[in-house]
Structure 1
Amino acid sequence: MDKAVNRTLAGVVVPDTPVVDATIDHARHHCEPYLFNHVVRSWLFAVRLGQPQAIDHDAEVLAVGTLLHDITLNESFAGPRRFEVEGADLARCFAIAHGFDTHRAQLIWDSVALNSTPSIGLYKESEVALCTAGICLDVIGLQYNAIPSGEIALIVDNFPRLDMKRRMSSCLCHIARTTPETTYDNFVRDFGERFVANYKAPSTVDFVSLAPFAE
């Protein structure tokens, strides 16, 4: 990690290093404004959630993983794998290009790939768990009461939501409509089943019963 230098962003103390600045610029370039604000809020929430318990973590890994977790969530996404995995590969390449070693880059890959799977991500390494927690707070309000309401309001004031619920739902429906095969085993399936005409996911029950074995 670069020499530890911090700054305050929307009331939260975060690392101020060249790689963090480069990541913010990269996220701003690849994300629509509402999505850019979402990834920054998620990062700030992740950092803030780790402070009460003084959770030991690599601050740059947390920044890169959280800021880049949605770079493939858009209406031009075309697969062939689920958007989190495609994004994880891009984030890992970014990290390696900026001097991260294999271990740190893999933590970033895990953070991005598992960002919408809290039943796993919250139990991984601290960087992955905090990334997952920050994202879940911003998307579904998980641990909303763990941060004082005034601090949340300051973060949202600095990085407004910009109609996020509707716009994110539109992106997820687009993925379910255009690349349904990437959604059958993840949360995008819920959007397909509720909002996309003729969307039908196969059942895991059928996969098990039709496996090519006698028993």
Structure 2
Amino acid sequence: MSLQIPKLVAGISIPDSNLAQQATELLIEHGSDFLYNHSLRTFIFASLHGERRKLIYDKELLYICSVFHDLGLTPHYSSPDKRFEVDGADAARNFLKGHGLSDQTLQLVWDAIALHTTPGIVEYKEAEAVLLNSGVALDVIGRGYEHLSDSIRKEITAYFPRTDFKKIIIPTFFEGFKHKPHTTYGNMNADICTCMIPGFKSPNFCDAILQSPWEE
């Protein structure tokens, strides 16, 4: 996959620093057209949300988070026993090490990616984490769709097409963690396993309590 990245989409400038370019190269090398388009739309949606709310955030870090947020689904970065979000977070942190960034910044990026599918928590984190989650949610389930004009939506999807996104996203995500469905426990991705694995039943917290080894 070799792509020419536009400099400006929907009024949002796409970072082209050396760090951003290196991250994009990894997405192109290890990802797919589907993940590339989803990740870039996520960044633009997140940035537009940040502008609408007048949030202060680091655009380059938000871009890195967007590029890496689903790379944990790919064979290159996928582990046998961690959530794909953690695999992506680990990959981003390892990528950023050695670039002179503070430990706090590395932790911010890790948290943003690891928590991007964890509503109820991520929206209380730093701006980059809040915005990554908002960008993902807009692209995947349309949360905040009404805040974008039809012309803006068309411009974004002209550069980064959705291409049967609704039909492709579930099997694509499942492919990334079908070898470790247990890692989806307590997470919305358990719904994907239920959809894709006949007879799959996600572990239940109430069962875990009642089946604990305590005698009383």
Give TM-score, length-normalised by structure 1: 0.88
C-alpha distance after superposition, 1:25-72 (max 9, x if no partner): 221212111111100000011111111232011112111111110002
Aligned partner of 2:20 in structure 1 is: 20
Matches within 5 A, 1:1-215: 7-74=7-74, 77=78, 79-175=80-176, 177-214=178-215
Aligned equivalents of 1:75, 1:18: Cα separation in 2? 25
TM-score after normalising by structure 2: 0.88
Q: Could you tell me whether the CA contact under 8 Å between 2:9 and 2:155 is conserved in 1?
A: no
Structure 2 unaligned residues grouped into runs of 5+: 1-6
Deviation at 1:130, TM superposition (A): 0.5
Q: Percent identity among equivalent residues?
A: 33
Per-residue displacement from partner, 1:96-118 (whole Å, max 9, x unpaired)? 14332211111111111111123
User: 2:182 & 2:176 partners in 1: Cα distance?
Assistant: 9
The CA distance in 2 between the partners of 1:173 and 1:91, in whole Å, is 21
What amino acid sits opposite 2:18 in the alignment? P
Determine if contact 1:89/1:109 at 8 Å carries over to the other structure. Answer: yes
TM-align CA RMSD: 2.0
Distance in 2 between the 1:16 and 1:183 partners? 34
Any idea what the Cα deviations from partners look like across 1:85-142, whole Å, max 9, x if unmatched? 1111111111114332211111111111111123221221111000110111111111
Letter paired with 1:29: E
CA deviation digits over 1:142-180, x for unaligned, max 9? Answer: 111122221121011001113322222113333564212
Q: Distance in 2 between matches of 1:75 and 1:19?
A: 23
Sort the Cα spacing of 1:75 and 1:16 in 2 relative to 1 into closer, same or farther, 3 A.
closer
One-letter code aligned to 1:196: I
CA contact (8 A) 1:11 1:154 kept: no
Runs (5+) with no aligned partner, structure 1:
1-6
Aligned partners of 2:10, 2:147: CA distance in 1, in Å?
A: 17
Aligned equivalent of 1:4? none
- Report the Cα distance in structure 1 between the residues aligned to 2:95 and 2:40, rounded to whole angstroms: 17
| Alignment match, 2:3 | none
Change (3 A) 1:176 1:85: closer
User: Is the 8 Å Cα contact of residues 176 and 191 (structure 1) preserved in structure 2?
Assistant: no
Cα deviation, residue 214, structure 1: 4.1
Distance (Å, rounded) in 2 between the aligned partners of 1:174 and 1:91: 21
* Alignment check: 8 A CA contact 1:74 1:171 kept: no
